[in-house]
Structure 1
């Protein structure tokens, strides 16, 4: 912790930062080149050629930030961040992968993330992966991440194939994650709206918030949080559109019988989910705090991608929040999330 942060009594923690795993990607490409090409064609359909070209150049320029711990630590120092939670870049989800490859890739990602954060364990915390499209294999990969590799939890997408987060087949996963007190970091990859968002970078600017909102709604309306109250769900991108449009969900819960699968009005569950600060403006951050509660907001940056926050600490400090709440968002809330987790 820096001297300045020590005097303020807060460890500044960024819960949303990524690592790229080139060796994993190369091996997946070697094993199933045709499937990788099909996945690339889907990404072209969803994003459009122009955005893919820009994204390719952007990621290429940021390879050192995504792979080199020394570069990562220097960037953290420049941002005033003491600790990062490091999760795999979402392109490593491989939602199309068959069972054997998907399980191997998740476990290999767990190993590689653990090796990355082990280079600086006092400043880096790792999150692993699970094969969401194969619910029957998820628990073993969660155990591999948390118990086998000592990671704080896992990162999941908003959906995978025909598996939504409301899918009953995921019940053993939610139960085990709650039992382990593991963090489940919800971070979309891709959007089911496909070519409707293939220009103007809408696949990201509209698609990511939409996917967050849909995935969280599946969790809430299906009663997952009723059955598993100890779950620690952390939503990327401030939860997308859901926190600012939650009144419509409450209305549906009130008037539509098919929307009454959860015990309480949907808005109450926002205070049982954690949300990062990647919302891009102070007004949106204040609204998120008002809707979800100050205990449920944690610092995030989406490091080091261009749609993230270059100066995540300044966004929080410039939002006009009370000093005590500001410190909780900068680090206290993240610390609390890790206090009860089961360790390897």
Structure 2
């Protein structure tokens, strides 16, 4: 019997090189953001992605550039991996006019229309229904895009998840529901929030396919996202992926992390996805130590450029308070 051709994009050495550079940028950018926040360079809430980089790196290589993405408030890395100018991302954190949302969104509300990034949302679980809505629009227009709807494990306890799952399966919407399961909803472990700890089972009541995925492995994420995207494009509807990952830092910058031990954090760092990809490249002789150091130097320099750009960028003009409040309709109003 002939072997069935894989529907998932092939993983090549170039894929590993891309993963390494993108994850290293996410890591160094977020480390710098953490430093800047403690220096009070910008305010508000700040949620870092450090430790979870394999999810975005593996996801982006498995989808098409025209596919959509929506997420919660741990969202700095999403525009970076989609190709948004990192300088504009940093400027947005600083609340500057040169930011991705003209400084109006800040840490929790990143958008990039050109790259189909629909946020960055501060309300826990609020993006779940929106993700299904984006997918509904694509299906209504008969466009073969797929929406990746990210959420944390805490958001899976919100009621909107069940309403959305029901509609998404009934209408076979082209959406992938991705739980970035980092074990803790703020400071509350998954085990303390529900009797159902295998979050991939949450779609069972709606006959939604659900799978657990190793979120510390770019390869595993790439494969799972690729298969789910193929199902969605074929009109077979949504998939729920419980991607098990870990955040090395607290829920936010104000989190004292008293709910877990240092030993637990160090244990997860042994599975660090950046180190795994680096070791693979060296083992395969696809890169040398000098090549690795060159990338690291390049990324660190870029991050410093981002800080300089943000600090030197202008503040938004006060008149901007009245701009971008409403969207101009592309159809005439009917008056009675």
TM-score by length of 1: 0.31
Q: In proportion to residue count, which structure has more helix?
A: 1
Larger Rg: 2
Structure with bigger RCO (C-alpha 8 Å, 6+ apart): 2
